[in-house]
Structure 1
Amino acid sequence: MTIFYRLRGALVATCALAVAACNSGTPRPSVTPPPPAARGAAGVDAIADLLDAGNERAAKKEIKALLKREPMNASALLLKSSIDGDPKEQLGPNSYPYTVRPGDSIAGIARRLLGNRLKAYQLTRYNGLKAPVALQPGQTLRIPGTPPAPPAPVRKPEPDRVPPPAVAPKPKSVAPKPVAPAANPAAARAARTAGLAALNQGQVTRAVALLRRAAALDPANPVIAKDLARAQRIAATVKAH
């Protein structure tokens, strides 16, 4: 019996060691599924591609499944309204014309002019088209809203202009004022004497000229001024006769 209990104890110890060895192994990393939001984002792109291809039935099915997982997914709700709603009410009645350019697509125009690629199916229905849409250059679409403002023209910088050299104004010519002769009493007396002699000889004109010269040479002399005035009166009387 003693041997039996010893064997049973050894067997139990061996099993315990085996279990411990198994439990001490490196655990496998658990795979965490992506969050619902990440799965929803990928689903939105797939649904948009289905609508661009004109497959409404498959798109509705995917939208229903996505909203079941995420009832408040804004992108899924937008795509659902793109199928069921009125595009005129969703995008507004006002619109402007747009001419299709080479390389344009409905999705690209929706992204560029409406600000959201997911509105491509609304834009398709807004223009009365059916997906899939093959745009042609020169084709006219109606874009909801108001046209974007054209870019401001780029003004070329004007070349530096060198101002012309300033021209100094020419000085105005000023006529020199006549310089009065300097006072010369001696010359004035001689001119007065000659003037009175000419006046006594009846040479009135010459007498006036000599007396004027005497007055200019001695302007402060009252006698010369008196003689000049008398000679001028005589000259006026002679001229009158």
Structure 2
Amino acid sequence: MTIKRKLQLVFAGALITALGSTLTIWSSDAEAAVNRYTIQANSPKPEACKNHGTVPAGTWLQNKVCGYFVGTALAGTAFDVHETAQSDYHYGHNYGGNNLCAWVPPGALSGSPTGKADESCSAETKERIGHRRSFGSDFNARAHEAEDGSAVSVDPACSGGAYLNYYDSSDYNSGSLRDPAGTPAAQVQYRYTTNGSNPAVVVRDSNLGWVFMDRDCVTDWRGVKFHNDND
């Protein structure tokens, strides 16, 4: 083998090694494609959606921009941002006990990312959860006809009171009451019933805000009409 041929082979080997390193770095970056942030306490409620004040425990989880309440992202938990809407709402994955994909309002995240993460919330999931029958039933109003609940009576001490969370996966098919929120008033505003074999109700308490309660804690439905149309 000539010296020229040897040099050509050495150069080719070096080029392949360099290319391999570049591809490895690119592959790693492609897998860790989203930024991870931390949920902040006392995050602002979305003013653009006609809400005011803050959420002391963290921030709301919603099914879409200005959508239904589906849980509370607790302060200190991680949130991987997959998409940011023009309104500055963020779609992504909340960890902790929730471990699900949802939207969070503007102002809920740490100022800078805490790291990178693999993508875990698909466009299909975003589309699916954007429709209310994917996570609940027996809504208090037809789709797009109400932004608040309807008054019902509850037993404030029933099943430990109110809770910040219920769903525990992006399937939104089941869950369990967790993260105590406190004792609600005897009258709350009923919005919908969750999916699951042991369903909860989503209600707005005048002091606690949006929370979950055991459906059996409702003592008087006060004539609320249920609606099961999709949106």
- Max radius of gyration: which structure? 1
Q: Do both proteins adopt the same fold according to a TM-score greater than 0.5, normalized to the shorter chain?
A: no
Higher share of residues assigned strand: 2
Q: Point out which structure has higher relative CO (alpha carbons under 8 A, 6+ apart).
A: 2
> Normalised by the size of structure 2, how large is the TM-score?
0.23
In terms of fraction of residues, the more helix-rich structure is 1
TM-score where L is the length of structure 1: 0.22
